[in-house]
Amino acid sequence: MAALIEPSLAAALDRKMALRGKVEYTPSDVSLIAEQLNRFLTAQIGQGFEVRDLNALSGGASMEQYVFDLYRPNADRQLVKMILRMSPLCSVIETCRLREFQIIRAVAGVLPVPEAFWVSDSDEYFGRPALICSFNPGVASPKDGGGKATGLGTVYGKHREKLAPQYIRHLAALHTMDWRDKDLSALVIPREGTSDAVDWSLAHWDRVWDEDAVEAHPTIALARAWLWRNRPVLDHISLVHGDYRNGNFLFDENTDEITAILDWEAGYLGDRHMDLAYAMLPGYGTLEGGTYYCAGLVEKNAFIEEYTRLSGLSVDPERLRYYTVLNMYWAIIACCATGPKLAADRMTHLDTMMNIVPGLGFYFVNELNAILLEEQQHDADG
């Protein structure tokens, strides 16, 4: 089924296909990054600055990142620790730096986020799109939490009691914030009472599968048909994070205050149930003492109850189920199609990780098969 893909995301996919088979990833030389960074900053702020302690930053499955100190002796803030986030050669999820930049700026003051300073939406300075934001203090998981680089599987232990209410409160604030007076020109606004947003998302992931899959898969075929057939309409337009889970926020291990919510590159305007279902996905949480904690933080019913109380928005079980399927659908595509394809074509700086993520993808295949089987039985029963 043909449908619009948001132009900025379609452009990111076009870029990936234009590079495929023509170039392979090679590690960036820090001295070259320093030269590019100095040229870019000169264009933004002129003279009178110094880049100090530029180093590659580990972690993250999407961006190439470098941390540095910006010294400006005549500025109000003389020394600011910053992060340069650059689009990689190709990513497991192709996104747009301008979208990310605009979303971070839009939610500043509503949620704790890095300060977004500058963005380059072309290849002019770094050979690819990039943005610069503040480096926020905090940890993604406690020292004894057992979390991996992705944040998945983190056990928050004694920190859960204080972190969980903040995690829910920030999500409720995001979904109810007034985004209409913000500069979100890189995003397309869906219409309430339509399936616009989900149509665009489905068209996007359908294209990714068609371009990246090595071979057909029956679960993808069944899920695609079910998702198009059961598209819900939008009752309230929210700014959606798109990757709201453990590992994508930092907190102070001493005070248990969330210091920053990260990784906004998958954000868009759409249905709040997308974030809710994503945060509740099996595989992202932890089972402790017989209780399953969504994102390692909160039991599902408590999550829904507190979110509803804080946001004043309803949580529809049917839409929650729909977006569970949609989240599994795109996660399977990213993990089982795009990741291995990028590794095989040598188009990623994370080739080892891209050969590991299919394990998570096929976990979701198993979960999704069970849901689709239930739906098939429900349809048969009339």
Q: Is residue 334 helix, strand or coil?
A: helix
pLDDT tens profile 258-291: 999 999 999 999 999 999 999 999 888 999 999 9
Name the pTM for this structure.
0.95
Q: Is residue 129 helix, strand or coil?
A: coil
The pLDDT value recorded for residue 357 is 85
pLDDT tens profile 321-359: 999 999 999 999 999 999 989 888 888 877 777 878 888
In 3D space, the residue among 285, 359, 298 whose CA is nearest the CA of residue 172 turns out to be 298
pLDDT tens profile 195-227: 999 999 999 999 999 999 999 999 999 999 999
Q: Is 129 exposed, middle or buried (0-12, 13-18, 19+ CB in 10 A)?
A: buried
The pair phi, psi for residue 59, each rounded to 5°, is 95, 160
Number of helices and strands (H, E) in the chain?
A: 12, 11
pLDDT tens profile 287-319: 999 999 999 999 999 999 999 999 999 999 999
Phi-psi map region of 171: left, alpha, beta (phi>0 left; psi -120 to 50 alpha): alpha
The pLDDT value recorded for residue 1 is 41
At the second CATH level, the architecture of 28-135 is 2-Layer Sandwich (3.30)
Neighbouring-strand partners of residue 298? 294
103 pLDDT more than 60: yes
pLDDT tens profile 144-173: 765 555 667 789 999 999 999 999 999 999
pLDDT tens profile 44-68: 999 999 999 999 987 655 789 999 9
